[in-house]
Structure 1
Amino acid sequence: MLWQPINLTEVCPAHTQLTACSNFGYIYLALLAHLYGDSEDRRIQEKLHIREEETFGKEEYDFIVVGAGAAGCVVANRLSANKHWKVLLLEAGAEQPDVTLVPGLSTSLIGSSIDWSYQTEPNGKSCLARKDQRCGWPRGKVMGGSSSINSLVYVRGNKLDYDGWAALGNEGWSYDEVLPYFKKSENNLDLEGLSCYHGVGGEQPVSRYLYIDRPNIMMTQAFNQGGLPIRDYNGPFQVGAMPAQAITRDGIRVSTNKAFIQPIRYKRRNLKVKIKAEVFEILLSDNKVAYGVKYMKNGKVHTAYAKKEVIVSAGTINSPKLLMLSGIGPKEHLSDLNITVKQDLPVGENLHDHVTFNGLIVALPNETATLIAQDQILNEIKCYKDMKVKRGPMSADGPANNIAFIKTEPDLLAPDIQFHIGHLHRGDYVREPEIADEISIFPTPFYDALLVRAMNVVPKSRGKVLLNPANPYGKPLLYANYLDDPTDAIPILKAVKFAVSLENTTAFITNGARYDRTPLTACKYYEWGTDEYFLCLIRSYTSATHHQAGTCKMGPSWDPKAVVDPKLRVYGVPGLRVIDASIMPFAVRGNTNAPSIMIGEKGVAMVLEYWLNKSHG
């Protein structure tokens, strides 16, 4: 059986150090291809005898939505609920393959054909031990976007974040004003008395994993014994620890594609979805009104027209790229590329991400480790496929199930550190974490060491997205600029000391867990445990958290760095909005998938309000 929706074997050349191209690697990939070689969208199409063929004649719609990611799927769903409006949803990637539904295979998707596989540009201050001093930035190139390939964690951020947005002049974006939009989408399956903070009737399932292994329990207990209360980090207080809330139901990933598009895609005749359709230009009239897009599909250029609005939901990287290709962006940069400047705006600036590092390794003894023999791994994958309600290790995302937030100074009003736990296969694959975990094609539930990552959720460093002079239509230049502000490392260093102290907890001791104190190669001239050693790790083994934000910044008209207004309308370009994580003035304290869904809900609500009031007026 040919596996068309995703081709993991393309990853092999980059993964030779991980033995992905060994006999077991090929067997593993072949098994995935056999078990998960089709997609639910494709099967529904065949059952209903529906084909989304090329449109002949003039393509005219009321709304065009660019990007079927965390926000775009929400936007397309809500707009197409009005049967009088025709909506076109364009996605550059393919259908969402079934392999993405397995939480335990999340890291297997990195570097595959449904990943844009972006990389940062070196800045000489971070990612120093990585190849060419570049950090990898995987982003979903598939229906559902990054919600189809991420670590599934559902974190909203802190009340202070949204109140901070509002304080900058973004009317309507305070915590109390955005909370209803979080609740609208959410269908919380583990509600335990905090109904005023959670929704139960929305399209997006949120639940804890059905399987929690021994190291996960150990880490939650250790955080608790280290002084962190067990509490709902999406409730009124964020400081604490808790097993992750995730975008799962019955042990299956529920991306925004699966939650918002699949249920309606072949029922609403006014919604048209096109995959492998990459938009490369937003059409603007002489007076700069957006009226359509040009996109590439099957090697041909197509034009689609929007009678009401073009809505860009292509994400923090691709949204600014598209705007700049269309002449909307920094005048100097566009002029250098001979792109006609139609609207001079700081598009692509204010790029930032929560920064962390690999290298703080917790070694697990055999009785605590979850690493199993290769034939057992294959058997677990097959067993998962056969279960109606998915349980067992493949139904969870390994150690990523642990979430904790701390304040590194007692007088802080909100957390400045989020802990994320990664995994390692120390004995069988690599020991150097500059590549471990981030490109592992093997299932996440099976490991014999943990990576404790402390991420700075309030970074000061800012970078930018630029078009590539060698090929503006290709991968853009991503200047993450991690650790450009040296103070960004300070809270991480303080958090590392807290993490190391967990070795003295009963949870660590009774499970035989200990920190591996062997200095890593890039920092071998420093003594393990010293500030100098950990600072070296932070700069050498820098790791992205994939929470990129800010490149089409939302702000009031007096903000010189604003690209969109508080209603997400692009300044000076009527008929064009950006609705995704790129509009964040600053990233929230936490993962960005849940906030992106909220931005989709609130953003489309403003679109609906405008056009419904206009029609009634």
Structure 2
Amino acid sequence: MSGAAATTPAVQDYDYVILGGGTAGCVLANRLSARSTNRVLLIESGLDTPPEAVPADILDPYPSSYVNPAYRWPIRGHALTLSDSPANPLLHAQVMGGGSSIMGMIMLRGVPADYDGWEAAGARGWGWDAVLPYFRDLENDLDFDGPLHGRAGPTEIRRHRMHDWPPLAKAANQVAERTGAPFIADMNGDFRDGHGALPIAGPTSHRTSSATAYLTREVRARKNLTIVARAQAQALTLDGRKVTGVRVRTLEGDLVARARETIVTMGALLTPDFLLRQGIGDPTQLKAHGVEVRHARTGVGTNLQNHAALVVLAHLRKAGVQRRPQRNHNNTIFRYSSGLPGGVESDMALALSSRASWHAVARRIANFSPLIMAPASRGSVSLPPDGGPAPLVEFNLLGSALDQSRLADGLHRALALVTAPEVACLIGRPVAASRLQNAARFNAVTPMNRMRTHAIATLMDLVPGLGDWVIGNMGAPGGGLAELLSDKDAVADYIRANVTPIAHHSGTCRMGAIEDPLAVVDPQGRVIGLDGLRVADASVMPTTPRGNTNLPVLMIAEKLSAAILEAQA
């Protein structure tokens, strides 16, 4: 009798259970619990970061948390497909605040056409004019005010002052001025192509994550909000076509949380994986994996999108080394239109940085990355063929020939920038990065790596030609960037071998009209055909915005929180 009682899960009742304490989950927990009659449970599988115990590497205004494996799921993904590209580690956060606690802190909204496109695709009420109030409400923009910006929101946003830019960013701006590209001081309000100052999450002293902004001491003190970390959702509970709650494994034992609504905010890789394992998805796939079909939604796990990237590297000479601000990651970016057939306005970007990682060697390396901001290719998240615990992630980044062409064009534009006299005087021979595993061993923050990288960096400063040799060992075999671009076939082979997704996974449970067979949720985030279940993260994006996804996810969570509270009223 006592043994049976010990294995019986506790049962608790809530109005809302939020599965995932990432960027979106923290917003929802705050906004829904602000109504004192709502009982809210927030479940996070990773470490909690209460205000008195935020780890130093998460607070760091340089994103040193990016390389801490303690904050990441051990998920791998294929840049192309299972059959033609290896599975490489992916950046998918497992910590309170999710990606906002480990990402590069860039806070771009995208462009108005992104959201007007969502509405045109069936996400009614998600056009630019409808989402702008939520972008305003969530932010405290320290630089800009007026009708496009907010000053009272919980999320601080700033830009580095031009006089504080490192030499590489200043040189790029000189190239822009000489070539007639406008300077975009406010990339979240001025949507022209040009060379822009990147908006960043937080003041100069620390990172602002979703957890620090929305789960403050005052919010955590609410009696109607329960936060459980180091816990994982095991299974949804259903009564016919209604989701009635979820079974959760906690450090104290199993819990059955019954709820009016269950809201899944696990991110665009794990949300579809969780739904598929619950029998919510394409019946053909589910049956092939022996999963009972509980609700047929063919679109679950399809429409995966990401911003595809390549990397060009060069040794930064002493005059180009970033001296201030010391704890800075990114300063500026070029937003541009490829002009290729099938491309759209502002479909590309060229990012540049003079500090790619935490250590001294990285401060001697210039980085230039062509990025596809409006991808045409689509991938998928599906159940793994081996039946393992991690999803099969296939980004299929070159599924569209347009994307291959845009990356090739982006490499030529990168060459034009690095050979411009303003930039060329700061760097050595540029190479197309290919063998980055040669540098990956230095990413772990250890005393030994600190000592080794300091010694190597000192030698790179002092020994003529050593910097180019070090960087050359991270480049594609056969020469520098210029040599590569002289051979069209070699460029195509290089792109296929080296294109990589960045941490902007989106689209795998997309919003749409209820009659759309591939839509997973309606414009209120409700899973079509089921009661009591919503999705409220980057999964619901019909298309990925032309910017980093963290700020749009905050907006989505704010807007869906408001929709839930309005429906409740």
Deviates more, 1:452-461 or 1:79-88: 452-461
Q: 1:509, CA displacement in angstroms?
A: 4.5
| Counterpart selection for 1:564 from 508, 511, 521 | 521
Q: 1:202, CA displacement in angstroms?
A: 0.3
1:298-338 CA distances to partner (integer Å, 9 max, x unpaired)? 273221111x2111111101111121122111112222222
8 Å Cα contact 1:220/1:243 also seen in 2: no
In structure 2, C-alpha distance between the alignment counterparts of 1:110 and 1:471, rounded to whole Å: 29
1:333 aligned counterpart, secondary structure: helix
| Counterpart selection for 2:146 from 195, 203, 214 | 195
In structure 2, C-alpha distance between the alignment counterparts of 1:409 and 1:252, rounded to whole Å: 39
| Counterpart selection for 1:393 from 297, 306, 326 | 326
What is the letter of the counterpart of residue 264 of structure 2? V
1:245-277 CA distances to partner (integer Å, 9 max, x unpaired)? 111123210100000012434321111111011
| Counterpart selection for 2:159 from 196, 208, 222 | 208
Deviates more, 1:361-370 or 1:162-171: 361-370
1:85 match = 38
Is there any run of 5+ residues in structure 1 with no aligned partner, and where? 1-54, 372-390, 425-436, 613-617
1:419 match = 350
1:336 match = 288
2:268 match = 316
What is the letter of the counterpart of residue 348 of structure 2? I
2:556 aligned counterpart, secondary structure: helix
8 Å Cα contact 2:106/2:199 also seen in 1: yes
8 Å Cα contact 2:308/2:375 also seen in 1: yes
In structure 2, C-alpha distance between the alignment counterparts of 1:243 and 1:173, rounded to whole Å: 27
Matched, 1:117 2:74: yes
1:252 aligned counterpart, secondary structure: coil
Deviates more, 1:536-545 or 1:551-560: 536-545
| Counterpart selection for 2:485 from 507, 521, 529 | 529
Is there any run of 5+ residues in structure 2 with no aligned partner, and where? 1-7, 50-54, 433-471
In structure 1, C-alpha distance between the alignment counterparts of 2:499 and 2:22, rounded to whole Å: 26
In structure 2, C-alpha distance between the alignment counterparts of 1:167 and 1:242, rounded to whole Å: 28
Pair 1:310–1:512, CA change in 2 (3 A)? closer
In structure 2, C-alpha distance between the alignment counterparts of 1:423 and 1:541, rounded to whole Å: 21
2:405 match = 490
Pair 1:227–1:523, CA change in 2 (3 A)? farther
Pair 1:408–1:317, CA change in 2 (3 A)? same
Q: 1:443, CA displacement in angstroms?
A: 4.1
- Aligned ranges for residues 12-161 of structure 1 at < 5 Å? 58-96=11-49, 97-106=55-64, 109-110=66-67, 112-121=69-78, 123=80, 133-161=86-114
8 Å Cα contact 1:127/1:542 also seen in 2: no
Matched, 1:347 2:300: yes
8 Å Cα contact 2:107/2:551 also seen in 1: yes
Q: 1:553, CA displacement in angstroms?
A: 1.0
1:407 match = 337
In structure 1, C-alpha distance between the alignment counterparts of 2:515 and 2:99, rounded to whole Å: 33
1:326 match = 278
Q: How many residues align?
A: 510
1:264 aligned counterpart, secondary structure: helix
Matched, 1:478 2:367: no
Matched, 1:237 2:191: yes
1:588 aligned counterpart, secondary structure: coil
What is the letter of the counterpart of residue 100 of structure 2? S
1:182 match = 135
- Aligned ranges for residues 367-382 of structure 1 at < 5 Å? 367-370=319-322
Q: 1:242, CA displacement in angstroms?
A: 2.0
Q: 1:507, CA displacement in angstroms?
A: 2.5
- Aligned ranges for residues 206-605 of structure 1 at < 5 Å? 206-209=157-160, 212-231=165-184, 232-285=186-239, 287-298=240-251, 300-306=253-259, 308-345=260-297, 346-358=299-311, 360-370=312-322, 392-394=325-327, 396-397=328-329, 400-409=330-339, 414-422=345-353, 442-443=358-359, 446-471=362-387, 474-509=389-424, 511=426, 515-516=430-431, 522-524=476-478, 527-530=483-486, 531-605=488-562
Pair 1:113–1:567, CA change in 2 (3 A)? same
Deviates more, 1:292-301 or 1:166-175: 292-301
In structure 1, C-alpha distance between the alignment counterparts of 2:82 and 2:412, rounded to whole Å: 22
* TM superposition score normalised by structure 2: 0.84
What's the C-alpha RMSD, in Å, of the aligned pairs? 2.6
In structure 2, C-alpha distance between the alignment counterparts of 1:173 and 1:567, rounded to whole Å: 10
Pair 1:269–1:299, CA change in 2 (3 A)? closer
8 Å Cα contact 2:11/2:255 also seen in 1: no
In structure 2, C-alpha distance between the alignment counterparts of 1:444 and 1:153, rounded to whole Å: 22
In structure 2, C-alpha distance between the alignment counterparts of 1:117 and 1:419, rounded to whole Å: 29
1:525-554 CA distances to partner (integer Å, 9 max, x unpaired)? 893332334333322222222111111011
Deviates more, 1:209-218 or 1:327-336: 209-218
2:446 match = none
In structure 2, C-alpha distance between the alignment counterparts of 1:105 and 1:541, rounded to whole Å: 24
Q: 1:125, CA displacement in angstroms?
A: 9.8
